[in-house]
Chain A
Amino acid sequence: MKHAATSLGALIVFAVLLAAVVAPLVAPHDPFVQDLNQRLVPPEWMDGGSAVHPFGTDQLGRDYLSRLLYGARISMMIGIFTVVTSGLIGITLGVFGGYFGGKIDEVVMFIITCRLSIPLILVALTVVALIGSSLLVVILTLGLLLWERFAVVSRTTTMQVRNLDYIAAAQAAGASRRHILLREVLPNILTPLVVVATLEMALAILLEAALSFLGLGVPPPLPSWGLMIAEGKDYMFFSPWVIMIPGIALFVLVLGINLLGDGLRDLLGAARPT
């Protein structure tokens, strides 16, 4: 049962990733081309739908399936690049604080506390007001803010690993600090960090959608799922699919990532010795 859920999660994440990669090949239309004669066409399975636009069109007559496929690119890019950025920052801080301890650890803890007291939406608002919104700004804003869980988890796990004898043996063997941190400590704290990465990825994708919904995320006409919901909200009473389709896509992707993360935690946890 547990295994099935993990497989389902992996399947969903893989499918969205695949859609993102091959979007230009499989999308039936250009996601940016407007056709004002074909506005708010319902999806194929509803009354008035046609096979030309399987998921219908939006309020500007753009093909919804194509926008959804291209939107997968935005979501996956946000998810992956945010996690890479925040992972680098958080793991570096956490490993340094946990390994060296003392004053360095106090500084790291102070930085983490500072980060936790920063309201994310307000920072995003300020950044957008100052430099305007673009995909890169969203990735950097989220990446520079979502590292605290990486830092906390890598700090505590590093503190546990630091006192084990193989670290002392590596020191006595004359290994450099770089070797000890990268080859002795890091591989042994990776398991919980993989789980954190999946959580953060789901969070980043949801936050991007929220920011885009508020007009602080990726700028139109980029087909972000959050932006699609925002643009469709005025038409939801008569054309509910305009928010249902991207909404369901978002829900399924985040669910898939979380299922995968849960499964990885159990799998990797069981494989660990002691």
Chain B
Amino acid sequence: MTCAVEVRDVRRVFRTHAGMLAPERVVRAVDGVSFALPAGHVLGIVGESGCGKSTLARMILGLLPISEGEILVDGRSLAAMDRRERARLIQPVFQDPFSSLNPRQRVRDIVALPLAAQGNISGRQQRDQVMEMLARVGISAEIADRLPAQLSGGQRQRVAIARALVLHPRIVVCDEPTSALDVSVQAQILNLLAELRRDLRLTYLFISHNLAVVEHIATEVAVMYLGRFVERAPVDELFRDPRHPYTRALLSSVLTPEPGNGIPDVGLGETYPDPANIPPGCRFHPRCPVALNRCRTQAPDNIVTHGRLTECLLAEGAQGTR
């Protein structure tokens, strides 16, 4: 069976010069990520800002060239596809619906763009499909003639979802689709995405920094740190039994509703990860609360046991005992 998305040791390096004589800054945004996502599954990717999750999403969408590695979508190389073919397979939903919709276009034209770009769909067919998809995401017909500025945040995100789905793609990359929305609207959008996935048999790549959101929608979760997956596991196992210290820290950082607890101390210290200066050995060791001496020099390999990936030297010895 071919996987919906297969990513093989993908890397992305950004080189920037601060000035003509300044030394080159090399930022390793994504530093060797591999995974295979079967059709119909939802892979949630979590990590703090700057960990490379959006860069990974943009590469999978074909919006950003890959420095090294290979991405297969539906069994075929993404690099070999033309833009129309790629658009039929994979579509994005972005974080901020206030910048993902062209302010100068009406809703119906925004949603029709993927159809129009195919170049072989008649205007009448385009109109019908647009209205059908708008109805499906809960946008009434009279809103189709409005400009984005006349819509609420939730309505805008629904329009963005309609645009992503109007070509009936197989895969949707959701880059933090709810983080810019009001809390009251987040659940609506999440439920809509979950419902559409069931009905249209979609595969999602769901990027978020919000563990609660990921727990709700994902079947599998990958935790990303400084450009690599440090842990990947089925969603219930990851939440029940986190093996990487970073995952444990993320889980304990979730705010609890009980008053008086304050902001939890996750034991990660004050340092901030810098993708321009990745530490030797295990890239997590400067912040790791349980780091050993050998973590400073020895990089952990991907350790895969029972369909789980853990990139930690401690997990090697600990596997099966926890």
Which residues of A line the B interface, CB within 8 A? Answer: 164-166, 168-176, 179, 183-184, 187-188, 272-274
Contact = CB atoms under 8 A, between A and B. Distances in A.
Residue of B58, B91, B102, B104 with most chain A CB atoms under a 10 A cut-off: B102
13 contacts: A169-B94, A169-B163, A172-B61, A172-B91, A174-B88, A174-B117, A175-B117, A179-B117, A188-B102, A188-B104, A272-B103, A273-B149, A274-B98
Contacts of A171: 63, 83
B207 to A, nearest CB: 14
Given A173-B113, A174-B86, A188-B104, A166 B91 contact: no
B96 to A, nearest CB: 6
Interface in B56-70: 58, 61-63
Interface in B185-241: none
Interface in B79-126: 83-84, 86-88, 90-92, 94-96, 98-105, 113-114, 116-118
B63 A273 contact: no
Interface of B is mostly: mixed
Contact of A173 (B91, B94, B148): B91
Contacts of A164: 99-100
B61 to A, nearest CB: 5
Contacts of B58: 168
Interface size class of B (residues with CB under 8 A): 20 to 34
B160 interface: yes
A273 B94 CA distance: 19
Contacts of A166: 99-102
B160 A169 contact: yes
Contacts of B88: 174
A155 to B, nearest CB: 19
A166 B163 CA distance: 11
Nearest to B101: A166
Contacts of A175: 83, 113, 116-117
A174 B84 contact: yes
Contact of A174 (B101, B105, B114, B148): B114
- Which 6 residue pairs spanning A and B have beta carbons closest together? A174-B87, A165-B100, A173-B114, A187-B104, A174-B117, A165-B94
Given A165-B94, A179-B117, A273 B103 contact: yes
Contacts of B160: 169
Contact of B118 (A165, A174, A187): A174
Contacts of B149: 273
A165 B92 CA distance: 10
Contacts of A179: 117
Nearest to A175: B117
A173 B163 contact: yes
Given A176-B117, A273-B98, 15 more contacts: A165-B99, A166-B100, A170-B113, A171-B83, A172-B61, A172-B62, A172-B86, A172-B87, A172-B92, A173-B117, A173-B163, A179-B117, A188-B102, A274-B98, A274-B103
Contacts of A273: 98, 103, 148-149
